[in-house]
Structure 1
């Protein structure tokens, strides 16, 4: 399981949309969407 798959599973478990999840974690929804689909690697910050 990739980190993106884990992220998506946790987001869906919490019944949150991508924008809501991104807002809670201080990230852009575009970036998190790209992480979920494996287009970019997650940052370390």
Structure 2
């Protein structure tokens, strides 16, 4: 996965979390990104 794709996913996820207003959604996205970042590295 390209770093650009991860950034895009993060941006879309952040926008979605803000739109929904659900903290759990943002937390879940951050956890998934953290796991992906760990796997990539």
TM-score in terms of structure 2 length? 0.44
Larger Rg: 2
TM-score in terms of structure 1 length? 0.41
